[in-house]
Structure 1
Amino acid sequence: MSGAQLRIERAPALCNALAPTREAALAAPVGRIELVVDGRWGALVNAAFDPALAAYSDAYENSLHVSPTFDAWARGLARTLAERWRDNLRCVVDVGCGGGEFLQLLREAGAARCVGFEPGRSARLAREASQKTGVEVRSAPFPDGAGDLRPTFVTCRHVLEHIAEPLPFLRAIRSALAPGAGLYLEVPSAAHLLEASAVWDVLYEHCWHFTERSLRRLCSEAGFRVLRSGGGFGGQYLQIEAVADEAQPAPAP
């Protein structure tokens, strides 16, 4: 890893956690950010990240679907993915699905069985999300909570940047897929962050900041063959579509 590119000594450990009182907000845990260039894939990583500080709970809320602009974009994305992957919509899984909003859009666009996994939510909130959206939301990680589920298409949006060890995470997803299954990944774009000097997007819970090249490298090492990559939502997001690479066996998680 190269030397630090950015340091923040005291950053909220969970920027999107809603505090019930002023006192609770002031007492919220903080952590140190020390962004360096990762020597393996070329992404930016917080070398000072402590996963124990980023303890997700029902208080964490980062859904943007209340914005008409964002919701319209997400609906268009769901329709595009459903069209491109129309032969892979038998069993769609959303890893880190939040309240199941995007999975609901995929179902409306033609997906058959839809299952979301959100370990950061309680069983109660997962049930409420299922009732609200009409899709199945499980308060469990993927693939540990998948049972005999064999997804034909997996979406994972704005999750990977939160994962301290992204390679085992993606390899575990790869090992659980049906033959020929597809993957859609979406993360904040490190290129946009740097070009726009968007320091407000440097969050403690985002321990990784990927460029297009670094994310493609990571996906390839995890056992995926990248079909498409580029930017979305005005360049703020980085998007990748890939398939499980059948030319190589699924790597061990």
Structure 2
Amino acid sequence: MPGGFFSMACLVCGRTKARPVIRIADVPLLCNFLYPAKEDALRAEKGVIDLVFCPHCGHLYNRTFAQDQIRYRPGYENALHYSGLYRQYAEEEVQRLLTRYLLAGRRVLDIGCGDGAFLRLFRQKGQCRGIGFDPAIEPGAATSFSDGGIRIIPDTFSGRSDETGADLYVARQVLEHLAAPLDFLATIRSAMDSDRSVLFLEVPDGSSLLAQCSLWDLIYEHVSFFTAASLAYLLGLASFSSAPPRSVFSGQYLAVDAFPAEPSVLSNNELIREGIAETGRLLEGFPACCLARKQRAENLLKTALTGGRRAVVWGAGSKGIAFLNSLPAGADISFVIDINPNKQGKFVPGSGQQVMGPEFLADYRPDTVFIANDIYREEIRSRLDALRIAARIHCL
């Protein structure tokens, strides 16, 4: 790991001696905002990721992040529930929460709810009442549902009195987007009007990212990359207690149930001490591993495209878009495949590929399919088999 320190305060603990990890330039500010026109996609704003590590709490964050450059608005699309594999995971989490906390018929508040898919599961499985918040809801999209049990507000969560009183607060894939995560959790803590309320958090797993050298998981809109240690530390500061965060969805996410408590400083906690030490070990080889992975991917791309052969990337999410924007050879790929119908027909920020549905491949007949997220490999292989596409598959 490179030597030296940076003085920008850690987003979790506030300490000012962060160690440099890796720097990546020219990354789209918003990977999950796709464009209706290719020309606009090619002109998408870009920024720099300067990833640093806080040795006090174990947190990883982008010290050059500018929150005022990020605007979540209609067109921002990162729904994953079109995948059967992901739906199974979400359904299992909902059932676990319903059963463990006796939430049937209770009120669930989901911050960053997207189209309300997670809330609908609570409604279907437990007859819960739901309220969701998301500033990226499309104009004209459904903000209430037929039986009146769910309402979505196209705005950010502010903790006003009319937004309180839930039995379960949910923030999935939200915390990593915020430059002031402690303030966000404090707002939720203040909104809780009962010590029996529960907070369910889910974030990308920063330790897994390091262990797997997941270069394509480094995206600008994620200012934070939480480890189990830094997430536990943050929850303690924000007046929550919890069991250690769980690794879920094949190591891709951290999930935790948290409860109102007195504030605590956990720097001497065994989980945090061990977590910080483990993160330090993982960081030692991370930059070199990323460089090797990038070179391997560039070579694979060049080989796949020689002699007029065709290749596509499957997955127009953050991994696929980061991949295409990081490699010169990515410009020679014309299409990205995604099963999310809200992405199809649009264009990738920065690199400009058009997103198409799987059925497009029946005519396009690619020779190689690059899979952005290998957790979906079998699901994608089944789709290709159904379309009688005998392409080579490479996981990025």
Question: TM-score with structure 1 length normalisation?
Answer: 0.90
1 CA distance for matches of 2:138 and 2:190?
A: 26
The alpha carbon displacement at 1:191 in A equals 0.8
Indicate if the aligned counterparts of 1:82 and 1:89 stay in contact, CA closer than 8 A: no
Q: Say whether 1:167 aligns with 2:189.
A: no
Indicate if the aligned counterparts of 2:159 and 2:190 stay in contact, CA closer than 8 A: no
The residue type equivalent to 1:191 in the other structure is S
Which of the residues 168, 175, 186 maps onto 1:153? 168
2 CA distance for matches of 1:176 and 1:11?
A: 36
> Larger deviation: 207-216 or 137-146?
137-146
SS at structure 1 position matched to 2:31: coil
Indicate if the aligned counterparts of 1:92 and 1:111 stay in contact, CA closer than 8 A: no
- Calculate the aligned-residue CA RMSD, in Å: 2.1
- The superposition leaves residues 164-205 of structure 1 with CA deviations (integer Å, 9 ceiling, x where unpaired) of 100001000000012121010000000110111111111100
The residue type equivalent to 2:210 in the other structure is L
Aligned to 2:282: none
2 CA distance for matches of 1:75 and 1:200?
A: 27
Which of the residues 18, 26, 32 maps onto 2:42? 26
1 CA distance for matches of 2:174 and 2:65?
A: 16
Aligned to 2:144: 130
Which of the residues 173, 193, 211 maps onto 2:227? 211
The residue type equivalent to 1:224 in the other structure is F
1 CA distance for matches of 2:80 and 2:138?
A: 20
Aligned pairs for 1:73-112 (under 5 A) are 73-87=89-103, 90-112=106-128
Indicate if the aligned counterparts of 2:172 and 2:201 stay in contact, CA closer than 8 A: yes
Indicate if the aligned counterparts of 2:111 and 2:134 stay in contact, CA closer than 8 A: yes
Distance change >3 Å, CA 89–CA 200, structure 1 → 2? farther
Q: Say whether 1:66 aligns with 2:72.
A: no
The alpha carbon displacement at 1:83 in A equals 0.7
2 CA distance for matches of 1:99 and 1:65?
A: 10
> Larger deviation: 86-95 or 76-85?
86-95
Q: Say whether 1:242 aligns with 2:258.
A: yes
- The superposition leaves residues 136-162 of structure 1 with CA deviations (integer Å, 9 ceiling, x where unpaired) of 111122234562531121011000000
Distance change >3 Å, CA 43–CA 139, structure 1 → 2? same
1 CA distance for matches of 2:65 and 2:42?
A: 21
Q: Report the identity percentage.
A: 36
SS at structure 2 position matched to 1:141: coil
The alpha carbon displacement at 1:223 in A equals 0.8
Indicate if the aligned counterparts of 1:89 and 1:152 stay in contact, CA closer than 8 A: no
Indicate if the aligned counterparts of 1:88 and 1:152 stay in contact, CA closer than 8 A: no
- The superposition leaves residues 184-241 of structure 1 with CA deviations (integer Å, 9 ceiling, x where unpaired) of 0000000110111111111100000000011011011101111352100001000111
**Whose strand proportion is higher, 1 or 2?**
1
2 CA distance for matches of 1:87 and 1:216?
A: 24
Q: Which has the larger radius of gyration?
A: 2
1 CA distance for matches of 2:21 and 2:193?
A: 40
Aligned to 1:195: 211
1 CA distance for matches of 2:215 and 2:68?
A: 23
Indicate if the aligned counterparts of 1:91 and 1:111 stay in contact, CA closer than 8 A: no
SS at structure 2 position matched to 1:98: coil
SS at structure 2 position matched to 1:109: helix
Question: TM-score with structure 2 length normalisation?
Answer: 0.59
> Larger deviation: 208-217 or 2-11?
2-11
Distance change >3 Å, CA 53–CA 209, structure 1 → 2? same
In structure 1, the gaps of 5 or more residues are 249-253
The alpha carbon displacement at 1:89 in A equals 5.7
Indicate if the aligned counterparts of 1:88 and 1:153 stay in contact, CA closer than 8 A: no
The residue type equivalent to 1:159 in the other structure is V
The alpha carbon displacement at 1:37 in A equals 1.2
2 CA distance for matches of 1:44 and 1:96?
A: 22
2 CA distance for matches of 1:51 and 1:170?
A: 17
2 CA distance for matches of 1:74 and 1:232?
A: 11
The residue type equivalent to 2:260 in the other structure is A
**Whose helix proportion is higher, 1 or 2?**
2
